[in-house]
Structure 1
Amino acid sequence: MSSVGMFVMFAMLFATTSGLHLEGLSWGILPPFEQLSHLTSLTLKNIAGMCVFGPGSSGVTERSFMHLKTLEFMDMPGLVKWVGEPNSHMFSMLESIKLVNCPLLNLFPFLECSDRFTKLCSLYVDTCPELSQFPPMPHTSTLTWILIRNAGSIVRYIAKELNVEGYNGALAFRNMDKVEVVNIVGVSHISLSDLQELNSLRSIHFKNCDDMFSAELDDNIVLHSVQNLWIHELFITGELFSKVLKCFPALSHLTITKCKRLELLPVEDGGLSDLRLLQAFTGDYCKKLFSRWPMGEVGGEAHAIKPFPSSLRELDISYEPSMQSMGLLSNLTSLTSLSLRGCDRLTMDGFNPLITVNLKKFTLDTWYQLQGRFSIVGDLLSEIARSKLMHAGSFELEELIVDSISAVLTAPICSHLAATLHKLVFIQVQWETTFTDEQKQALQLLTSLKHLEFRFCPNLQCLPQWLRGLSSLKSLVIFRCKKILCLPPKENLPISLEELVVEACSPELIEQAINLKGTSPWFSVYVYVPREL
């Protein structure tokens, strides 16, 4: 059959079709699209020989696509231009455009006359490196789904979330009034005043965009709706950061990670102390956060300025060498969650036991680096015990993660935590090798415990062989404890146990865990052996 006959048959067969997908064709001239009067969806994929799409080429006329709502070009190596007639409404009904892997495409009607695409809801452009100079996006509030991605650059806008990474095109924030979450990475042309146009904005993440904060900040810039702020890898000073915080008076969650230059300022007015609504703070790998703060006793400096407002309920600080005194936290008596990890210069100086009154989750895996590398957990728990808080119904922990076995497994501590503690993790236990009889007996007191975990305990040689007294235990995890050679016998495990996880441990321990597989339909065993083992 001739190509003309094929096209005639094609038109007859699909005269009433609404969707058409053409792939892998090598026709020089495509079917007469104007005969497909009901066509609402068209996909062209890997069409060899097509350089131009539009009126006068590929079977396209002014009458084509009057009702087309969805148009996709995918894997079109030769396509250079998608054109439209001046003042034409040929593509005015389009609601969705998708352009994927069109390496030569440098023009399509939206770039020249975006105002005609009033019904466009979705724009997807991926790996089309020659396409640039997009109009300010989104061009209307109707366009609520955008993805424009090329090497090292992406803008993704999906209803309530906007992600911008390395994208230098203009953005029309006035048309994104529903956006609640913004992530900005590696750009400099967006300002805080731009973000003021997002009336529904709740959460912002800044990463590697120092130039956004290098200019003088206008005192009139206030983002009243923002509750969550995360800054990551910014070279920002404490002085400038204090000015930035004034733009976010309603912050409830603040996260600072890898801001190596940032030093929080000890000032009466400004900084974190002005954030009266702050509920949660996370600081990771920053090095200098508290380097300007004095380290002193709580008694003589009870009314001194503190880094955080007393409203704080959750505090997580990791690998922060400038965190050297518990006294910095002495005003935080509303804390429900406290995590101090890898702060290897932390001391008990100024510790106020009252900060533990409301704690439900407590993590402390920090050593005295300068005094023999002993954990401060023991001193901290002893101080709490001396304060009589345990007898007053306080310190009712539900989750405890610590770097010392001996500090926790004492009869007084375990008796107090017996009714509330659900999760106990021993992590980075460096010096303890075995369990004493007293510690084994204290462990049995934790009758509410559901999760018991040993993680990164390089010198621990054995586990307690009798765990049956832990009548609520559901999960036992052993991770990278390479000197532990044996599990408790199956009959010594609590009947409540549902899960055993053994990962990156000794061959002997792994073999025993494997042998426990299938011993009970209600008991699951998971064994993970990393490649280096």
Structure 2
Amino acid sequence: MKNLRHLNISGCDRLAHMPNGIEELLQLQTLPMYIVSRLNNLGVLGPLNLRGELKIKHLENVHTTEEAKEANIWKKRHLTSLGLCWGNADSNLIMNPTSKGSLSWLHMGKKDVEPQPSEPNSIRAMDGKLAEEVLSCLKPHENVKSLHVLGYPGFAFPRTFSKWLLAKLSTIELINCGEILCLPAYIRSSSRLKTLRMEGMNKVEKIGLEFYGENSIVAFPSLQELQLKDFPVLEGWCGIDDDNRSIFPLLRKLSIKSCPNMSQAPIFLSLQHLSLHSCSPRILDPASKSTSLLTLVIQDFAELLSLPEKLFENNSLLASIDIISCPNLQSLPMEFQNLNSLQALTIRWCQRLSYLPKGFHKLTALKSLEITECHSISTLGEEIGGLKSLKTLSIENCSSLGFISLGLQHLTSLEHLTIMYCSNLASLPDGFQNLNALKRLTLINCPELQLLPESLKFANQLQSLQLHSCSKLGSLPEWFDNF
């Protein structure tokens, strides 16, 4: 088997160690995962000329810098993606090999597939200086385009780390580096960096000017996508008050999740897609200064009572809005009526939201409307009649909903109407003869619904009618026989 070129062990998550003799497979090109253990040290990788993607797991088992140097990672010029993982940190981020391999020749016994023992205490106690030194010895070749560091237990990234960020690096992911106090400043200078994901930074309290560099005119010049997740003590993320300097000039997509104390963020002039999850309502104020948003997600804001008017006043080009799990949100701002480009609106699990805003009928571009688990909404009024472009209307588990107005008949573009688990709804409005585009009507678990509207027989385009668990619907109308 010394001529083996491809060994694909992707998804073999229970492997405790590598088979013996890997270092003798000098023709090996594909090895997407390597496990450092007592039986297989990191130096085994030294003579191999690997290509494509490589994820090195359980780097806590590397105890000397000499062993790390022997891996010769910096010489592997054909690698395009490198993952460096400590402890049980793992990811499928780089497990997309294109070459096929086989494990049939390994003849692994039971002891070979036992899960790697978890050693959280030893990992936490690992000398931070050693971790930094090991990491500094694992710098990749300049041809690597994607770098992923997971579970790094060091207290800082090594100074030589900046030399890694060479011209072709386009993706950086730093995940669960829980001892880090400050984000690495060198990232700003990577001219081709397009995606940056940072997650699980438990001790980072502030993202300050050092992140951009004191002398940098343009920081993160090519970055298009940025994600911050699980920064439990992060309070501030400052911008730059200097007209001669800029940050994130091409940023299009920003996701901030589980940053509960964060109240400050820069202004992103080119931002188009913003997703905010499990954050303080205070983060919405700096977010409102954006002016080019196309999509907006606000999710898991338990303390949110209202949405800032400026957020919608400044972003009239919004095409999609999701407002999810905001249980104390009581109303939507009047500025909603100015969203002339809005095509999709989803409102879920907003239990205290009792009505749609006045001027809602002005959303003439709206094509999809979903209202789910909004138990305080009792009426869908005439406002909905102005939604001339609406194709999909879904109302689910709105227990107080008892009335849908005749405005429904003006939804002449409506193709799909779904009403589910609305326990107080006793009737549907008439006017179905005007719904010339209606193809599917779904009524599920509406126990008070007693009859179908007579006009439904004139819905000539209807292709699907689903009735389920509508216990008071005693019989189908006579005209149904000719439907």
**Structure 2 match to 1:184:** 174
Aligned residue type for 2:275 = T
- 3-state SS of the aligned residue for 1:195? helix
Partner Cα separation in structure 2 for residue 336 and residue 97 of structure 1:
43
Aligned residue type for 1:285 = S
**Structure 1 match to 2:390:** 421
**Structure 2 match to 1:483:** 447
1:366-377 mapped onto 2 (5 Å cutoff): 369=352, 374-375=354-355, 377=356
**Structure 2 match to 1:107:** 41
**Structure 2 match to 1:9:** none
Aligned residue type for 2:231 = L
Question: Pairwise CA RMSD of aligned residues?
Answer: 4.9
**Structure 1 match to 2:278:** 285
Partner Cα separation in structure 2 for residue 166 and residue 77 of structure 1:
18
- 3-state SS of the aligned residue for 1:328? helix
**Structure 1 match to 2:185:** 193
* Correspondence 1:310 to 2:291: yes
Question: 2:317·2:341 contact (CA, 8 Å) conserved in 1?
Answer: yes
Measured after TM superposition, the shift of residue 142 of structure 1 is 0.8
Question: 2:207·2:237 contact (CA, 8 Å) conserved in 1?
Answer: no
Measured after TM superposition, the shift of residue 101 of structure 1 is 8.4
Structure with the greater relative contact order (CA < 8 A, sep ≥ 6): 1 or 2? 2
Question: 2:199·2:228 contact (CA, 8 Å) conserved in 1?
Answer: yes
Aligned residue type for 1:311 = S
* Correspondence 1:474 to 2:443: no
**Structure 2 match to 1:154:** 90
**Structure 1 match to 2:315:** 332
Partner Cα separation in structure 2 for residue 466 and residue 210 of structure 1:
57
Residues 233-274 of structure 1: per-residue CA shift (max 9 Å, x gap)? 21254433547997534322222222211124xxxxxx44x3
Among 180, 190, 196, the alignment partner of 1:204 is 196
TM-score by length of structure 1 reads 0.58
Highest CA radius of gyration, 1 or 2? 1
**Structure 1 match to 2:231:** 234
Partner Cα separation in structure 2 for residue 461 and residue 139 of structure 1:
73
Measured after TM superposition, the shift of residue 449 of structure 1 is 0.9
Q: Percent of pairs identical after alignment? A: 18
Measured after TM superposition, the shift of residue 225 of structure 1 is 1.2
Question: 1:185·1:209 contact (CA, 8 Å) conserved in 2?
Answer: yes
* Correspondence 1:442 to 2:407: yes
**Structure 2 match to 1:262:** 262
- 3-state SS of the aligned residue for 2:412? coil
Question: 1:466·1:493 contact (CA, 8 Å) conserved in 2?
Answer: no
Question: 1:104·1:129 contact (CA, 8 Å) conserved in 2?
Answer: no
Question: 1:105·1:130 contact (CA, 8 Å) conserved in 2?
Answer: no
Taking structure 1 as reference, are residues 345 and 83 closer, same or farther at Cα in structure 2, changes over 3 Å only?
closer
Residues 66-121 of structure 1: per-residue CA shift (max 9 Å, x gap)? x553457999989885486xxxxx6443312367889752336534xx2x434544
TM-score by length of structure 2 reads 0.63
**Structure 1 match to 2:328:** 344
1:63-212 mapped onto 2 (5 Å cutoff): 65=2, 67-70=3-6, 82=21, 91-97=25-31, 105-107=39-41, 109-111=43-45, 114=46, 116-123=47-54, 134=68, 135=71, 139-144=75-80, 152-154=88-90, 156-157=93-94, 162-167=147-152, 174=164, 178=168, 180-188=170-178, 191-196=183-188, 198-211=190-203
Taking structure 1 as reference, are residues 421 and 194 closer, same or farther at Cα in structure 2, changes over 3 Å only?
same
- 3-state SS of the aligned residue for 2:282? coil
Measured after TM superposition, the shift of residue 476 of structure 1 is 3.9
- 3-state SS of the aligned residue for 1:432? coil
Aligned residue type for 2:343 = K
- 3-state SS of the aligned residue for 2:395? strand
| Residue ranges of structure 2 left out of the alignment (5+ in a row) | 97-143, 476-480
Aligned residue type for 2:48 = F
Taking structure 1 as reference, are residues 482 and 154 closer, same or farther at Cα in structure 2, changes over 3 Å only?
same
Measured after TM superposition, the shift of residue 186 of structure 1 is 0.8
User: How many residues are treated as equivalent by the alignment?
Assistant: 398
| Residue ranges of structure 1 left out of the alignment (5+ in a row) | 1-41, 43-64, 85-89, 265-270, 294-304, 513-518, 520-533
Taking structure 1 as reference, are residues 165 and 413 closer, same or farther at Cα in structure 2, changes over 3 Å only?
same
Aligned residue type for 2:309 = G
Aligned residue type for 1:166 = G
- 3-state SS of the aligned residue for 1:258? strand
* Correspondence 1:225 to 2:222: yes
Measured after TM superposition, the shift of residue 507 of structure 1 is 8.2
Measured after TM superposition, the shift of residue 498 of structure 1 is 4.9
